[in-house]
Structure 1
Amino acid sequence: MSEGPGEDRLNVVEVVNGAGRGGVLLICEHASAAIPARFGDLGLTAEARVSHAAWDPGARDLAALLSAELDSPLVAGTVSRLVYDCNRPPEAPGAMPARSEVFDVPGNAGLTDVQKAERVETVYRPFRAAVEARLDAARAVVTVHSFTPVFHGAPRDTEIGLLHDSDARLVDLMLAHAPEDRVVHRNRPYGPEDGVTHTLKAHALPRGLPNVMIEVRNNLLTTPEDIRAMARDLMAMLTPALEATCPAS
């Protein structure tokens, strides 16, 4: 699993609308289910390789629409989160999980310290560097995710989750403008106690940037029409919230 002599470095990040001047930095850590050839298939079943365990279905397309609407750059991952979850620090067990949701990940079982360090250096650090490089121009940070309608057999009624860590400014205002026909919740289906706010804590909180982690139930992102409708509803919440928390200079 380590990088061989002369082997090219992984392409782990995609930047969309890099010249955007809207002042928001969008991040989509789980935008792709791709597994680089050097890792084989991680021993995954065909079902697991395309499941939510491997990526966030619909999240990249949704984030790209928000990037266009906000005229702001989007940093998106191009490697499955089962290789390395860029929303987890290297020391977190979930960064390179041997089991994710209901799926075993044999290729992550028994990783050596050297193998773990190689993934940190080739996936996590380049992704984080791409984010850091765009923070000086950012007035806010918005991360975009999707989640499964049913988790371990339990259905979820949340349609849109607005997650925050210690800074709730943006979420408070977004909730005040939530559409009446959407089920919108604070810190559901996950919250900071689940370790999901790493990106916000690493990049937004140290700079005092208003921030939100958006989670959308993925059965609401199955068609282009669905995704456009969701983008419209998110913009109806985001626009006034951004205007209030980080007005253009």
Structure 2
Amino acid sequence: MTATNAASGGRFPAVIENDDAAGRIVLVCEHASNAFPATWGDLGLTAAQRQAHIAWDPGALGLARGLAQRLGAVLVHAPVSRLIYDCNRAPDSLGAMPARSEVFDIPGNAAITPADRAARAEAVYLPFHAALHALLMQRLALGRAPVVITIHSFTPIYHGKPRSLEFGVIHDADPQLAQAILAAARAGSRLNAALNAPYSAADEVTHTLRLQATPYGLPNAMLEFRNDLIATPQAEAAMADIVAPLLAQAVSTLAPAPQAKAG
């Protein structure tokens, strides 16, 4: 197990856990942390705002760890708040360092310069995706074609409107795995589940999948869980108990991992 979350030379590398896991699944949690390193301060936010959904995906990391344990999967997650840099957004996206999130202004991002944006990308985005890419390519080279699944959570009330959805399954260009996960969820759980909800690729939420999985033909999906359902460690564990078998079933419907070619 590798777990590196300290800055190195002004860079904040990805945290990799269970990197020796034998399973095909690689879990990714881009919004795992609400840490605000001293390099950037608190961006002008209150303590309550830094704990809120705008700063991270509450429950997502605990759930991802539970799934990794149950599925024998490797887990890659980001070490800083998505308001510092959202690792599921490209460097040219305004959402990578938003000046406003939901109904909240982010003062520390309001007047960020191009040089500041580039420095944050260099410190957070580039090392995160370099580490994830290296891990995926290493597994491909070993003939263990990975299945990439990103783990997120969403707020039960968005812009004042309640959400009844409990579990969203989102896909990029290839819908096969997402459709298999949704079918397993509808057949094997009581979760209120839907495809491409509460977001879809049109909302720029599949950046990691589009960058790391789609170009290499790797099966992939993005999972969204309503965060009131994973609000405690006990709830995270209970959700992992429900969802792990669904993911295992869905992955079992995929073609076997191709073997690396000799010569």
Name the residue aligned to 2:40: 39
Aligned mates of 1:28, 1:51 — CA distance in 2: 17
- 1:78-97 aligned within 5 A: 78-97=79-98
Name the residue aligned to 1:4: none
TM-score between both structures, scaled by the size of structure 1: 0.94
State the shift of 1:10 in Å: 3.3
Aligned mates of 2:192, 2:15 — CA distance in 1: 31
Name the residue aligned to 1:191: 200
State the shift of 1:240 in Å: 1.4
Q: Is the 8 A contact 1:30 1:56 kept in 2?
A: yes
Aligned mates of 2:73, 2:154 — CA distance in 1: 24
Deviations 1:54-98 (A, max 9, x none): 000000011111111221211101100000000000010100001
State the shift of 1:248 in Å: 5.3
1:13 pairs with 2:20: no
Name the residue aligned to 1:170: 177
SS in 2 for 1:133: helix
Aligned mates of 1:107, 1:218 — CA distance in 2: 26
Q: Is the 8 A contact 1:139 1:246 kept in 2?
A: no
Shift of the 234–180 alpha-carbon distance from structure 1 to 2, 3 Å rule, reads closer
Aligned mates of 2:134, 2:111 — CA distance in 1: 34
1:244 pairs with 2:253: yes
1:158 pairs with 2:159: no
Q: Is the 8 A contact 2:13 2:131 kept in 1?
A: no
State the shift of 1:11 in Å: 2.9
TM-score between both structures, scaled by the size of structure 2: 0.89
Q: Is the 8 A contact 1:86 1:127 kept in 2?
A: yes
Name the residue aligned to 1:209: 218
State the shift of 1:233 in Å: 1.8
State the shift of 1:229 in Å: 1.7
Shift of the 77–171 alpha-carbon distance from structure 1 to 2, 3 Å rule, reads same
- Name structure 2 gaps, 5 residues minimum: 1-7, 140-144, 259-263
Aligned mates of 2:251, 2:207 — CA distance in 1: 21
State the shift of 1:167 in Å: 0.7
Name the residue aligned to 1:119: 120
Name the residue aligned to 1:3: none
Name the residue aligned to 2:109: 108
State the shift of 1:9 in Å: 2.0
Give the partner amino acid of 1:169.
Q
Deviations 1:22-63 (A, max 9, x none): 111110000000011011110112221111000000000111
Number of aligned pairs?
A: 243
Report the identity percentage. 49
Which of 124, 142, 145 lines up with 2:149 in the alignment?
142
Deviations 1:5-28 (A, max 9, x none): xx8323342111111121111100
Aligned mates of 1:90, 1:49 — CA distance in 2: 22
Aligned mates of 2:212, 2:87 — CA distance in 1: 12
SS in 1 for 2:49: helix
SS in 2 for 1:75: strand
Q: Is the 8 A contact 1:140 1:246 kept in 2?
A: no
Deviations 1:132-176 (A, max 9, x none): 011121421000000000000110011010011111111111122
The CA RMSD over aligned residues, in Å, is 1.3
Q: Is the 8 A contact 1:25 1:134 kept in 2?
A: no
Q: Is the 8 A contact 2:31 2:152 kept in 1?
A: yes
